[in-house]
Structure 1
Amino acid sequence: MKKKRMIIGITGATGIIYGVRLLEVLKRLDIETHLVVSQSAQMTLAYETDMTIHDLKALADVNYSAKDIGAAISSGSYQTMGMIVAPCSVKTMSQIAYSISDNLIARAADVVLKERKRLVLMLRETPLSLSHIKHMQAVTENGGIIFPPVPAFYTKPETIDDMVDQTVGRVLDLFDLDTGEFKRWGEE
């Protein structure tokens, strides 16, 4: 049986820990990861972590340049579970909303949508302008899911890692992947 594949896009919005944690968890769940990191995300990586781009790419099974529009994940015939953009900048969300596929993150997302696979955008922006909301609406109407990484406090998180794990777990729930790493409402 072929291993399941997930595309992970990481953009320059703040919150790169979400993309990092997704890669770590998907590796543990034995899901093959296909990573695209934008140029802006490389800058954010340096601001928000002690990781190098090499460290980040080492977490993925397959890496692509954001400029590689001809990559395997740019074709609907290449089978994946779908795609998560974590974090997702407003720029990338806007490109995806209107099929502006001038980079591999936007192109892969467009392919995921046209193939009716799951696309989850962990949008990192606040406050939102009306144009942001309209772009969120367009993504949703096209079948994507806007998932701002908003922490849940009913879990009584004690660390930032607790909040990140809960959010990543909820995102992966959308793909029927249970991380087993966070408290759920109504469960002991």
Structure 2
Amino acid sequence: MTAELSTRSYRGQSQEQRRAERRARLIAAAIAVYGERGYHQATVKGVCEAAGLTERYFYESFVNSEALLIDCFHVVTATVMDEVVRAGAAAAPDPMARSRAMLHAYFSALQRESRKARVFLVEIRGVSRAVDAAFDDALKAIGKEVARMTTPSGAVEDELLQAGVVGGVIAIALRWIGNGYQPPIEQAVESALKMGTVLAAAPQG
């Protein structure tokens, strides 16, 4: 009977599908709420109200608010990185052109999706060790992917260099956003590109 109830459909959706849909609604609502109010000013109740769900469904998917913040960060990161990687793949194959295309896609995404940018760059920092670990793991993965796509040999194995370049680009992005998206995006990209050339020029092997 239990197995039957767990797989029974409602309006064409299984219980698992409905749970996944509720989880996605909570993540989308949290990104909007965190982007508008900030993580520390947000409450579980506020996120649930924005999602049109009761708190019961929050705890169905998340242990606490930190777990939701980490999942929001992963969703935003994956979305931005997918856009960046696609831009790099569509660019000319030389490292400079590919780096410029990827940076332009990155800055464009931050400007276009300002609430997501706040989750990606600001709200994730300093919440807890678990959240910091998620942020650090994401930066490592981003650094490796950027190095793979923009260095002549396809990879630079210096993780410290990767961290420095990615961190430098993020610092430029934070200042650019803080300045009201000024100077124009093309200038911001060129400033960040100088960081990227450090990675492209690094000794290989």
TM-score range, shorter chain: under 0.3
TM (norm. structure 2) is: 0.25
Of Structure 1 and Structure 2, the greater helix share is in: 2
Higher Cα Rg, which structure: 2
TM (norm. structure 1) is: 0.27
Bigger relative contact order, structure 1 or 2 (CA pairs below 8 A, ≥6 apart): 1
Of Structure 1 and Structure 2, the greater strand share is in: 1
